[in-house]
Amino acid sequence: MAIPRAAKTQRRTRIQEEKEELILEAALEVFSQNGFKGATIDQIADVAGMSKPNLLYYFRTKEAIHKALIQRVLDTWLDPLREFNADGNPEAEIRSYIRRKLEMARDYPRESRLFANEVLRGAPLIEDELKGPLKQLVDEKAEVIRSWAKAGKIAKCDPYHLIFSIWATTQHYADFDVQVRAVLGQEKAGEGRFEDAARFLEGLYMGGLSIPNK
């Protein structure tokens, strides 16, 4: 009798790992499209190709799925910022950060939307993550940017709002994809829009952050 929900033996089974992976992938699909309240367990189970009770054998509640999923996504989501290198060339670092973020918006739009949905509804599940690890990471990188400005390598600017603006502009292409496509129209809304966006954003930031009178 397996009363305990896949947690008695401390060690995770092969099947457990496979099925949990399957469920999280399905959950990403469903949650990112419908938000937390809009998604149903039945939907997720359906996409995952299993019955609802079977899914609930691995995750006790809908919230548990969402929590596990968003924790995992949040972690990889911040990788580009972690790679931000203090010793590198400022312009090159910022440029490649924008590129990486834009690539993620292009290649992982579901993750971006999942995150957007969560923050939009007040981020009840990741409040601590935001105020702790995320804030710490941003604080650290903001200090780097500030030091660059102080050293006269880039124009003086508020490093926090610089980071916010990069987040906003890049994730916009994932989160507001429908709107972007609608405005660009059928002709120009192909995959090339990410290249266009990259070109524009690099131009904007390189121009905006360069020292006026060198």
Q: Which is nearer to DNA, 54 or 136 (CB)?
A: 54
Q: Which is nearer to a second copy, 92 or 200 (CB)?
A: 200
Cα(104)–Cα(168) distance, integer angstroms: 13
Q: Which is nearer to a second copy, 22 or 157 (CB)?
A: 157
Kindly state whether residue 47 participates in binding a second copy, applying the rule CB under 8 A.
no
CB atoms within 10 A of CB 184: 14
Alpha-carbon distance values, 18 to 12, 44, 54, 70, 106 (Å): 10, 16, 13, 18, 27
Task: Provide the minimum distance between the beta carbon of 47 and DNA in the complex, in angstroms, as a whole number.
Answer: 13
Q: What is the CA radius of gyration of the chain?
A: 20
Q: Which residues inside 55-114 make contact with a second copy, applying CB under 8 A?
A: 113
Q: Which residues inside 23-42 make contact with DNA, applying CB under 7 A?
A: 39-42
Q: Which two tokens stand for residue 147?
A: 């030091």
Kindly state whether residue 161 participates in binding a second copy, applying the rule CB under 8 A.
yes
Question: How would you class 53 by CB atoms within 10 Å of its CB: exposed for 0-12, middle for 13-18, buried for 19 or more?
Answer: exposed
Cα(177)–Cα(209) distance, integer angstroms: 27
Task: Provide the minimum distance between the beta carbon of 138 and a second copy in the complex, in angstroms, as a whole number.
Answer: 5
Kindly state whether residue 21 participates in binding DNA, applying the rule CB under 7 A.
no
Q: Which is nearer to a second copy, 107 or 158 (CB)?
A: 158
196 binds, among a second copy, DNA, none (CB under 5 to 8 A by kind): a second copy
Kindly state whether residue 125 participates in binding DNA, applying the rule CB under 7 A.
no
DSSP states along 110-132? HHHHHHHHHHHTT-TTTHHHIII
Q: Which is nearer to DNA, 61 or 147 (CB)?
A: 61
Provide the binding-site residues for DNA, judged by CB under 7 A: 1-2, 4, 6, 8-9, 13-16, 19, 39-42, 50-54, 56-57, 60-63
